[in-house]
Amino acid sequence: MKVIKLANPRGFCAGVDRAIDIVSLALEKYGAPIYVRHEVVHNRKVVEDLKKKGAIFVKELSEIPEDGITVFSAHGVAEKVELDANERKLKYFDATCPLVSKVHKEVIRYAVAGKDIVMIGHKNHPEVEGTLGRFPNGSDGKMYLVENVEQAKNVVINQPKNLFLVTQTTLSVSDTKEIIFELKKRFPAMQEPNSEDICYATQNRQDAVKQLALETQLILVVGSENSSNSNRLKELAEKSGSKSYLIDDPDQISGDMLENVSSLGITAGASAPEELVQSIVQKCTDFGYSNEEELDGLEENIYFKLPSELR
Ligand code: SF4
């Protein structure tokens, strides 16, 4: 018998829900078009659906006309983007996830206190660009990006005894631990945030995929290629001994992929809609899978408030 097991929790987190709601409600209130700086969340289907409703995705504010209603993506933006929007008197809604905003506040607070800050994250990811861009000009300290253990072993810090650590919210929990271990060996005075920057949704989905890997031979991670947390789920599934593919369209599933797989696991990154997961489950039934079972997992009851103007 060929069975499907579903990870729990999986898919949308509270920050993604909020960001999509902000674009949808802005479209309802002001009508199309609504300009969104960067993909509001990293998922192809979400972006295509919002485009159909009248959202226009742009890379830079300069592409937005003077009266364009604007939304900043869930990944957050550098201070300069906000200042530019204010200078141009653009009306904008900030869909930055509150858990990313928490990291921005940490950067500002410790930079103002004159500390150096080291950030663990992936270069060029929009969240990292936004967080690095929160380090205030004119501060006495400096901000450094560290992407891996190798860089943690070599980074040269101006103020090793006056150093604070932040991380991207969607990293691999275990990889980050190894990097922090190296940094602490070299900079024992390094101060860490009171509560971890890696967010609850990332942690819970990684715990769930590890459990899924114990019970399945192959794991399909529903998520787009540019989704950081989805890529981490795929890596973790592989490290846990399962084969794994990242897919964001049912048509990407092939018979070759599923050859000799009797227990198939499915999970989804924090930006992947459940509707897409279900269409992938449906496609798998065409290959003879049945007995869909949802694993036990943590219930998430987190909700982030919408901007008052859109409530
Ligand atoms: S993955 Fe985490 S930080 Fe990113 S939007 Fe979701 S809750 Fe916020």
Across the 311 residues of the chain, what is the mean pLDDT of every consecutive 10-residue run? 96 98 98 97 97 98 97 98 97 98 98 98 98 96 98 98 98 96 98 95 97 97 97 97 96 96 98 97 95 93 97 93
Provide the pLDDT for residue 268. Answer: 98
Residue 291: what pLDDT?
Answer: 79
- What does each C-alpha distance from 272 to 12, 13, 229, 248, 277 come to in angstroms? 6, 9, 10, 8, 8
Does residue 97 line the site of ligand 1, with CB under 6 A? yes
Residue pair 193/200 in contact by the 8 Å Cβ criterion: no
What residues are labeled active site? 127
27 lines ligand 1 (CB under 6 A): no
Number of the ligand 1 atom closest to the C-alpha atom of 229: 1
Could you tell me the distance, in angstroms and rounded to a whole number, from the CA of residue 209 to the centre of ligand 1? 17
Residue pLDDT, tens place only, 289-307: 987 899 999 999 999 999 9
Which tens digits make up the pLDDT trace of 96-152? 999 999 999 999 999 999 999 999 999 999 999 999 999 999 999 999 999 999 999
* Residue 303 CA to ligand 1 centre (angstroms): 11
What residue's CA is closest to ligand 1, atom 8? 15
Domains of the chain: 3-12+200-294 (3.40.1010.20), 14-97 (3.40.50.11270), 99-198 (3.40.1010.20)
Ligand 1: does its nearest atom lie under 6 Å from the Cβ of 233?
A: no
Report the side by side order of strands in the sheet with 55-58.
55-58, 34-37, 70-72, 92-94
How much distance in Å is there from the Cα of 41 to the middle of ligand 1? 10
For ligand 1, atom 2, the nearest C-alpha belongs to 199
Residue of minimum CA distance from atom 5 in ligand 1: 15
Cβ of residue 4 lying under 6 Å from some atom of ligand 1? no
Q: Is the pTM of this model over 0.95?
A: yes
Ligand 1 and 99: CB distance under 6 A:
yes
The 3-state DSSP class for residue 289 equals coil
Probe target for ligand 1 pocket from 128, 195, 199, 226, with the most ligand atoms within 8 Å of CB: 199
Peptide bond into 136 cis (omega under 30): no
Cβ of 236 below 6 Å from ligand 1: no
**76: nearest Cα among 23, 14, 127, 3:** 127
